[in-house]
Structure 1
Amino acid sequence: MGHHRKALRTTAVGAVSATLIAGGVLGTAPAAQAATNDVRFVDIAGEGGTVLKANVITPAGADGSRTYPLLVLPTSWGLPQVEYVAQAQKLANSGYVVLSYNVRGFWQSGGEIEVAGPPDIADARKVIDWALAHTPADARNVGMAGVSYGAGISLLTAAQDKRVKAVAALSGWADLIDSIYSGRTQHVQAAALLDGASLVTGRQSAELREIFDNLYASDLSREQDMVNWGKKRSAATYVDQLNKNGAAVMMANAWGDTVFSPNQYADFYEKLTGPKRLEFRPGDHAIPELTGLLGLPNDVWTDTERWFDHYLKGEANGIDKELPVRLKSRSTGGYEGYPDWKSVGATRKKLALSGTTTIHTNVDSGANGGIVLLSSILDQIAKLPPVASIPLLPRAWAAVWQSEKYATAQQVRGTAELHTTVTPTKESGTLVAYLYDVGPLGLGKLVSNAPYTFHGQTPGKPFGVDLELYSTAYDVPAGHRLALVVDTVDPLYIEHNPSGARLTFSSPSNDPSYVSIPLREQ
Structure 2
Amino acid sequence: MPVYSYADAVRESVWVNTPLDNDRDGVPDRVAVDVVRPRETADRGLKIPVILEASPYYSCCGRGNESERKQYDANGVITKQPLFYDNYFVPRGYAFVAADLAGTNRSTGCMDVGGREEVLSAKAVVDWLNGRATATYADGTPAVATTWTNGRTGMIGKSWDGSVANGVAATGVRGLETIVPIAAISSWYDYQRYNGVLRSPDYPEYLHRYVNGRPGTTCAPVVQQLDEGSDDATGNYNDYWAERDYRRDAGRVRASVLIAHGLNDTNVTTGQFAQWWSRLNVPKKVWLAQQGHVDPFDIRRDAWVALLHRWFDRYLQGLRNGIDREPQVTIETAPGTWVSERTWPAAAARKTRVALGDGDGVTGTLGGGSTSGSRTWTDNPDLSEQAAVAAPNSTVPGRVAFLSAPLTREVRVSGTPSVTLRVKVDQPTTELTARLVDYGTATRVNFDGRGEGITTLATESCWGASTALDDACYRDTAEDVVTNDLAVLARGWQDAAHHVSLRFVTPLRPGKWYSVTVPMQATDQRIAAGHVLGLIIQASDDEYSSPQSGGATITLDLRASALTLPLAGALPKPGATAPIVSTAPPAKRTAPPRFQPLLP
**Shared fold per TM-score greater than 0.5:** yes
**Alignment partner, residue 48 of structure 2:** 68
- Considering only CA atoms, is the larger Rg found in Structure 1 or Structure 2? 2
Matched, 1:400 2:401: yes
Using the TM superposition, give the Cα deviation of residue 400 of structure 1 relative to its aligned residue in structure 2, in angstroms. 0.8
Q: Is the 8 A contact 1:367 1:485 kept in 2?
A: no
Q: Aligned ranges for residues 203-222 of structure 1 at < 5 Å?
A: 203=213, 206-208=221-223, 211=226, 218-220=232-234
Q: 1:128 to 1:439 in 2, by over 3 A?
A: closer
Using the TM superposition, give the Cα deviation of residue 404 of structure 1 relative to its aligned residue in structure 2, in angstroms. 0.6
Using the TM superposition, give the Cα deviation of residue 92 of structure 1 relative to its aligned residue in structure 2, in angstroms. 1.2
Q: Is the 8 A contact 1:420 1:513 kept in 2?
A: yes
**Alignment partner, residue 87 of structure 1:** 85
Q: 1:201 to 1:498 in 2, by over 3 A?
A: closer
- Secondary structure of the corresponding residue to residue 125 of structure 1: helix
For residues 278 and 97 of structure 2, the distance between their equivalents in structure 1, rounded to whole angstroms, comes to: 30
User: What do you get for the CA RMSD once the two structures are aligned?
Assistant: 3.2
**Alignment partner, residue 373 of structure 1:** none
Q: Is the 8 A contact 2:8 2:38 kept in 1?
A: no
Q: Is the 8 A contact 2:205 2:226 kept in 1?
A: no
Matched, 1:188 2:200: yes
Q: 1:152 to 1:516 in 2, by over 3 A?
A: same
- Secondary structure of the corresponding residue to residue 98 of structure 1: strand
Matched, 1:42 2:13: yes
TM-score by length of 2: 0.68
**Alignment partner, residue 363 of structure 1:** 381
Q: Which has the higher helix share?
A: 1
**Alignment partner, residue 338 of structure 1:** 341
Q: What is the letter of the counterpart of residue 391 of structure 1? A: N
Q: 1:72 to 1:387 in 2, by over 3 A?
A: same
Using the TM superposition, give the Cα deviation of residue 76 of structure 1 relative to its aligned residue in structure 2, in angstroms. 5.0
**Alignment partner, residue 94 of structure 2:** 96
Q: Is the 8 A contact 1:114 1:205 kept in 2?
A: no
Q: What is the letter of the counterpart of residue 434 of structure 1? A: R
TM-score by length of 1: 0.78
For residues 276 and 231 of structure 1, the distance between their equivalents in structure 2, rounded to whole angstroms, comes to: 24
Matched, 1:448 2:490: yes
Q: 1:453 to 1:324 in 2, by over 3 A?
A: same
Matched, 1:264 2:243: no
- Secondary structure of the corresponding residue to residue 155 of structure 1: helix
**Alignment partner, residue 59 of structure 1:** 38
Q: 1:477 to 1:419 in 2, by over 3 A?
A: same
Using the TM superposition, give the Cα deviation of residue 43 of structure 1 relative to its aligned residue in structure 2, in angstroms. 3.1
- Secondary structure of the corresponding residue to residue 385 of structure 2: coil
Q: What is the letter of the counterpart of residue 95 of structure 1? A: G
Q: Is the 8 A contact 1:328 1:473 kept in 2?
A: no
- Within the candidate set 209, 215, 234, 1:199 is matched to 209
- Secondary structure of the corresponding residue to residue 393 of structure 2: helix
Using the TM superposition, give the Cα deviation of residue 130 of structure 1 relative to its aligned residue in structure 2, in angstroms. 3.9
Using the TM superposition, give the Cα deviation of residue 360 of structure 1 relative to its aligned residue in structure 2, in angstroms. 0.2
Q: 1:206 to 1:147 in 2, by over 3 A?
A: farther
Using the TM superposition, give the Cα deviation of residue 300 of structure 1 relative to its aligned residue in structure 2, in angstroms. 4.2
**Alignment partner, residue 515 of structure 1:** 563
Cα deviation code 1:297-334 (max 9, x no counterpart): 354454333222111212222210112133223x3423
For residues 453 and 213 of structure 1, the distance between their equivalents in structure 2, rounded to whole angstroms, comes to: 20
Matched, 1:495 2:509: no
Q: Percent identity?
A: 19
Point out where structure 2 has 5 or more consecutive residues left out of the alignment.
21-27, 63-68, 71-80, 131-143, 214-218, 358-372, 443-483, 498-506, 571-600
Q: 1:35 to 1:108 in 2, by over 3 A?
A: farther
Q: Is the 8 A contact 1:184 1:452 kept in 2?
A: yes
Q: Aligned ranges for residues 423-442 of structure 1 at < 5 Å?
A: 423-439=424-440
- Secondary structure of the corresponding residue to residue 154 of structure 1: helix
Q: Is the 8 A contact 1:97 1:135 kept in 2?
A: no
**Alignment partner, residue 113 of structure 1:** 111
Cα deviation code 1:451-480 (max 9, x no counterpart): 111221111111112222111222323222
- Secondary structure of the corresponding residue to residue 391 of structure 1: coil
Q: 1:389 to 1:300 in 2, by over 3 A?
A: farther
Matched, 1:460 2:508: no
For residues 389 and 68 of structure 1, the distance between their equivalents in structure 2, rounded to whole angstroms, comes to: 60
Matched, 1:139 2:147: no
Using the TM superposition, give the Cα deviation of residue 101 of structure 1 relative to its aligned residue in structure 2, in angstroms. 1.3
Using the TM superposition, give the Cα deviation of residue 503 of structure 1 relative to its aligned residue in structure 2, in angstroms. 0.8
Q: Is the 8 A contact 2:50 2:149 kept in 1?
A: yes
For residues 427 and 530 of structure 2, the distance between their equivalents in structure 1, rounded to whole angstroms, comes to: 40
Using the TM superposition, give the Cα deviation of residue 42 of structure 1 relative to its aligned residue in structure 2, in angstroms. 0.6
- Within the candidate set 299, 313, 318, 1:314 is matched to 318
Q: Aligned ranges for residues 277-356 of structure 1 at < 5 Å?
A: 277-285=285-293, 287-289=294-296, 291=298, 297=301, 299-329=303-333, 331-343=334-346, 346-354=349-357, 355-356=373-374
How many residues matched? 454
